Structure formats: C-alpha cells, structure tokens
Amino acid sequence: MPEATPDKVVTPAETTPDERTMAVLAHVLQRGGGWIAPLIIFFAKRQSRSVSFHSLQVLFLELVFLVLNLFLTMLLVVGFLLAFLNAHGGNNAPPLAVVLTFPVFWLGLTGAWVVKLVIAVVYSINAGRGEWAEYPLLGALARRVLNIQPGGAAS
C-alpha cells in the first residue's frame, strides 16, 4: 500500500524589520502619494521579495482604482453632455441626466476613497507583522508576476 504524502506545506519567508517597515510604507503612502511612493519603494527594494510583493499589490490596486476613476469620469462627462444636448430653451429644472449622474459619480469616488483607506490600514498592519497578506485577486497576480509562491517562497 503506497504511503500517503502530506500536502506540500509552504513556510512563510522570514522578513527583516527593514522589510516590514518598507512594506508598511508601501501600503500607507499610497493614501498620500498614490502610485508614486509604492513605485519608488518597489524599485528601491527590488531585491526583497516581501517588499516587492507588497508594493506590487499596491501598484495593481492603484491601477484598478485609476480605471474606476476614468470610468466614473466618463460617466459624468457623458451625463453632462446628454444634459446639455437635451436642454430645452425655457426649462430651468436640471435635466434628469445631471440629477442621476452627479450622485453616482460622487458616491463612486467617495466609496473608492473609503475602500482604499480600509485596505491601506488593514494590509499595512499585516505587513508590519511580517505577514504575506494578499489582496483578493491582485495578490495572486502579484505572486505570479514576481514568480513567488504563497508565503514568499521562491518558485
């Protein structure tokens, strides 16, 4: 009877205090510096798998929110264009497109800001503990790009 082999267990790679600090900064500085601070950290600490992983996740998150902001801005512009194209001479009431478009735009941007704030706080705490916490979907993409396994082990 063949012997059962246990599942491959990946032990998380140990991180130094400097790596933990840089990973925390990558998450926290996105709130003030957007994608610039994580990009600088990514290239400055490229030799560290942990720092590269955390900063690349932040860069991917910034890319997702850039696309969301572009979509919401296009929605706002289209709404205003429709409002001005359909404007009638003596009607002083705001067109329905403006009434519906602006709140969606504002709520979308405000919701994105809150989500990014929560993500920055939660994942900076995890990075400060030396954990390899992954963003949903984006963490797996960052691991694939950097060619590392869960927990930071080299592939």
Angle at 39 between CA 35 and CA 40, to 5 degrees: 120
Pick the closest to residue 24 from 117, 149, 122 (CA basis): 122
Neighbours of 43 (CB within 10 A): 10
132 against 85, higher pLDDT: 132
Tell me how far apart the alpha carbons of residues 68 and 109 are, in angstroms, rounded to a whole number.
9
Give residue-wise pLDDT tens across range 67-114.
988 988 888 888 777 777 766 655 666 666 667 777 878 888 899 889
Pick the closest to residue 120 from 45, 43, 32, 13 (CA basis): 32
Pick the closest to residue 140 from 50, 128, 148 (CA basis): 148
Tell me how far apart the alpha carbons of residues 9 and 13 are, in angstroms, rounded to a whole number.
12
Tell me how far apart the alpha carbons of residues 66 and 103 are, in angstroms, rounded to a whole number.
19
Percent of the chain with pLDDT over 70: 83
Angle at 153 between CA 152 and CA 154, to 5 degrees: 115
Straight-line distance from the first to the last Cα atom of the chain, in angstroms, rounded to the nearest whole number: 31
* 3-state SS assignment for residue 26: helix
Give residue-wise pLDDT tens across range 37-55.
999 999 999 898 999 999 9
Tell me how far apart the alpha carbons of residues 12 and 149 are, in angstroms, rounded to a whole number.
9
